[in-house]
Structure 1
Amino acid sequence: MLEPFKNHILYNLSFLNNARLLIAISGGVDSVVLTHLCYQLGLDISLAHCNFNLRGKESDGDEEFVVQLADNLDIEAFTESFNTEGYASENKMSIQMAARELRYYWFDELAQQLGFDYILTAHHADDNLETFLINFSRGTGLDGLTGIPEVNNKFVRALLPFSRENVIDYAKANNLIWRVDSSNASTKYLRNKLRHEVIPILKEINPSLLQSYQSTINNLGDATDIVEDHLELFFEDAVESIEDNKMTFNVSEFKKQNNPRAYLFETFKDYGFTEWNDALNLLDAQSGKYILSSTHRLIKHQDSLLLSEIVPGELIEITITDSNQEVETPFGILSFSEVDEIQNNSITAIYVDKALLKFPLLIRQWKVGDVFFPFGMKGKKKVSKYFKDEKLSLLDKESTLLLCSEDNIVWVVNRRADNRFRVTEETEEIIKVELK
């Protein structure tokens, strides 16, 4: 296996030869073989081991083994101990997901702090097949069926072309010692059930299963390239704007496709959405209707779809005294300055009669029942009705603040001043209020 591995690095991963490499090592046969292969090729390697404290003395034994292996090879080793169960409970996730999240965060942190160019993991062809079957059994798109990427940013899976059998044969032929994780024998986890019960049957049916699977992966990869090329052209027409807090998509571009549901899936699959019939219904829904994922919200607004990240609700109430010249808000700096006359009006500034203001002023979000007297109009108007007339989206409404004097609205910030505080001929002192 050493010679094929050497050729694989030479022809496909040559960038590893002159890089600082961090090997993610559990102590199991896969990562031990990866370590020895890289060591034999003279690559610049260090080891990183996570102790998840899930198997008592066995976990501690794995850590001791990795430290000893590094000492034997005269290479550097880093170890980290995690309270995995506590992290899983705190973040309401499975133990497996918690362990995955913890180790990848730590590997990435090590690489950034200590200047490692790449992080090597010991995934091989059988792992790739297992991942394919897991995604297939749960339901997925093309991306979920194209396998584990060999290179993904800093992470490199250098053993992907090799089978578990190749790895074990190399370990035995070279008298390598490795640790056995007892939890890998349990079939309560889906991956282990596939590994021990399903894949052996598939290999019995087709002894060339891994080769057939690799051919399938290559074909799916080619299909994915075609889809991505087409989607790039679609996005050029469908994406209306990209801002800090939202993306806007043209509904008509989805509706003109033969299969709008498929385009919705490809556009929004990375944002946690799963109910694609609901997304399809959104195309013909009235403004204000929306669907939620765990992280994002997709809103129908007139002829557009607005995508925004869900931010935990935060009550905004900022008090302003008469001594404040500038106040920081979530949307910019609100400044107060005395001026001699009204200058150029703009949407970001208003001029008010200082004598009519009752300090302290208050900046807050709008609420149902709010009423103001729009500048330039006679009479009052509900803020909600003003929003509707202005055709504001749900996101625009949520990001609009009110400047208030006692219970009276002075300014629907960046939108409309209140007529009651306007400057008149009787005004002696003028205050300019501006959002910068």
Structure 2
Amino acid sequence: MLNRFFEFVKEKQLFESHQRVLLAVSGGIDSMVLLYLFEKSGFEYGIAHCNFNLRGEESDGDEKFVRGQVQLHGIPAFFQRFETEEYANLNGISIEMAARELRYDYFEKIRVEKNYDFIATAHHQDDLIETFFLNLSRKTGIKGLTGIKEKTSRIIRPLLFACRQEIEDFARLNFIEFREDSSNIEVVYQRNFLRHKILPLFQELNPAFKKNILASIENLKEAEQVYSRCLRVEHDKVVEKNKEEIIIKIEPLQNTLFPKVLLFEILSDFNFNSSVTDEIFQGLENDSGKQFFSKTHRLVKDRDKLFITPFSEQEERIFYIEKDDIELFEPMDLLIEKCDAKDFLISKESNVASLDLGELEFPLLIRKWRQGDYFQPLGMTGFKKVSDFFIDEKIPLHQKENIWLLCSGKKIVWIIGFRIDNRFKITTKTKMVYTIEMRKS
């Protein structure tokens, strides 16, 4: 396998021998085999480990095991713990997606800070097949059906030449230690359900199933290259660029052979998902002024064009409140007070937030709301999208754009001027009250 590893790195031009690679090591069999291959290769590398705090003592055991391997191999290593469930709830995403976002953001942070050239993950051929079917079930374009790439920007996947069985056999023959992840057998996760329930049925139907799927994915990769070349020609007919925005001309778009597909491919580069793209396409004939948002961009229809702009610097600005601050003048005029909870009377004014000081994590921050933001409205036990709250409150578009959030860590404390989060309300256990008043101009 070591020879195949060298050949794969060279054939796919994953990295040069003098470059430094950061390995994502969980402690599982795949990442430990990847670590073994790098150790034997002579390449310069370090490792990064994430503890997602999802499996209690087992997660801590994984971290302890990897730390032990670090000492054994004497290699640079970086460790990080995350509150994954809280992050998932706050962002309205699945646990799997939350873990993915957290780990890749962390890996990139370490790569830049410690001057690594690439991040290597231990994805293999079975992961490629599973991703193909997951993307197929979620509604995707031809790019999604090409599965996991050997190299994507700074992410490389040096084990894509091997299947899971080969990796297991190699680990056994070379006495490679690893940790079993009990969550891998829990079918509650989509990938595990596919792995343990669906794909074995295909294997029973056709023993050559995996081989054929991998060949089909290679065919799709070639087809995607042809597809992309044709799209580039059509793309140039309908898209204009300037320093501040991307402009899509509606009439030329509608005159192309496949306008909906082309629109999907254009907008995917700006993080618009297929559902939002469908809505935009259906609204091409509607009146001007309708706006749509992705995590990073805003799209506005104005007469015969669609204008795409990144969120402005002002929208991304963040303002901080330290524990001892008594007022703030930007982005709004705020008066801050602290007092004993005894005999405190809660204001019913919407421009005043009365909060439990003991629940707050300083510094607090103030930022604009974003698509995907979640909070727990006062009086509710469940979470609600901020965007849905705006709809329920019948807040007009122009007013939404000027709404700010008060946050404690990653938790929303107050939709300023509207509603506080239930987790920060004053209770019988509150000792100190933290009051913020938005002074009216």
> What is the alpha-carbon distance in structure 2 between the residues aligned to residue 76 and residue 14 of structure 1?
21
The answer to which structure, 1 or 2, has the higher relative contact order (CA under 8 A, 6+ apart) is 2
> What is the alpha-carbon distance in structure 1 between the residues aligned to residue 294 and residue 64 of structure 2?
43
Residue 245 of structure 2 is aligned to residue 233 of structure 1: no
Q: Is residue 48–residue 79 contact of structure 2 (8 Å, CA) maintained in 1?
A: yes
Gapped regions of structure 1 (runs ≥ 5): 315-328, 331-393, 400-436
> What is the alpha-carbon distance in structure 1 between the residues aligned to residue 116 and residue 294 of structure 2?
35
Q: Is residue 128–residue 147 contact of structure 1 (8 Å, CA) maintained in 2?
A: yes
**Which residue number corresponds to residue 266 of structure 2?**
267
Deviation for aligned residue 1:209? 2.3
> What is the alpha-carbon distance in structure 2 between the residues aligned to residue 217 and residue 106 of structure 1?
30
**Which residue number corresponds to residue 216 of structure 1?**
216
What whole-Å deviation, never above 9, does each CA across 1:361-401 have from its counterpart, x for those lacking one? xxxxxxxxxxxxxxxxxxxxxxxxxxxxxxxxx99xx99xx
Deviation for aligned residue 1:293? 4.9
**Which residue number corresponds to residue 174 of structure 2?**
174
Deviation for aligned residue 1:297? 4.0
Query: CA 1:180–1:16 in structure 2 vs 1: closer, same or farther (change >3 Å)?
Result: farther
Query: CA 1:167–1:281 in structure 2 vs 1: closer, same or farther (change >3 Å)?
Result: same
TM-score by length of 1: 0.68
Deviation for aligned residue 1:241? 3.3
> What is the alpha-carbon distance in structure 2 between the residues aligned to residue 77 and residue 289 of structure 1?
49
Map 1:13-412; keep pairs closer than 5 Å: 13=13, 15-244=15-244, 246-270=245-269, 271-273=271-273, 274-293=275-294, 296-309=297-310
Report % sequence identity: 39
**Which residue number corresponds to residue 353 of structure 1?**
none
TM-score by length of 2: 0.67
**Which residue number corresponds to residue 393 of structure 2?**
none
Query: CA 1:48–1:241 in structure 2 vs 1: closer, same or farther (change >3 Å)?
Result: closer
Deviation for aligned residue 1:275? 4.6
Aligned pairs, how many? Answer: 319
Q: Does 227-236 or 194-203 show the bigger shift?
A: 227-236
Q: Is residue 52–residue 83 contact of structure 1 (8 Å, CA) maintained in 2?
A: yes
> What is the alpha-carbon distance in structure 1 between the residues aligned to residue 307 and residue 192 of structure 2?
41
SS of aligned partner of 1:65: helix
Deviation for aligned residue 1:181? 0.8
Query: CA 1:281–1:13 in structure 2 vs 1: closer, same or farther (change >3 Å)?
Result: closer
Q: Is residue 300–residue 306 contact of structure 1 (8 Å, CA) maintained in 2?
A: yes
Deviation for aligned residue 1:90? 3.0
Alignment RMSD (CA, Å)? 2.6
Deviation for aligned residue 1:103? 1.0
Q: Is residue 16–residue 43 contact of structure 1 (8 Å, CA) maintained in 2?
A: no
Deviation for aligned residue 1:37? 1.0
Deviation for aligned residue 1:31? 0.2
Query: CA 1:168–1:294 in structure 2 vs 1: closer, same or farther (change >3 Å)?
Result: same
Q: Which has the larger radius of gyration?
A: 1
Deviation for aligned residue 1:290? 4.5
Deviation for aligned residue 1:53? 1.5
Which amino acid in structure 2 is aligned with residue 144 of structure 1?
Answer: G
> What is the alpha-carbon distance in structure 2 between the residues aligned to residue 294 and residue 79 of structure 1?
28
Deviation for aligned residue 1:306? 1.7
> What is the alpha-carbon distance in structure 1 between the residues aligned to residue 92 and residue 290 of structure 2?
29
Q: Is residue 53–residue 82 contact of structure 2 (8 Å, CA) maintained in 1?
A: yes
SS of aligned partner of 1:79: strand
What whole-Å deviation, never above 9, does each CA across 1:32-82 have from its counterpart, x for those lacking one? 001101111111121111111221211111111111112222222221122
Query: CA 1:109–1:313 in structure 2 vs 1: closer, same or farther (change >3 Å)?
Result: closer
Which amino acid in structure 2 is aligned with residue 306 of structure 1?
Answer: F
SS of aligned partner of 1:258: coil
Deviation for aligned residue 1:261? 1.7
> What is the alpha-carbon distance in structure 2 between the residues aligned to residue 210 and residue 5 of structure 1?
20
Which amino acid in structure 2 is aligned with residue 71 of structure 1?
Answer: Q
SS of aligned partner of 2:50: strand
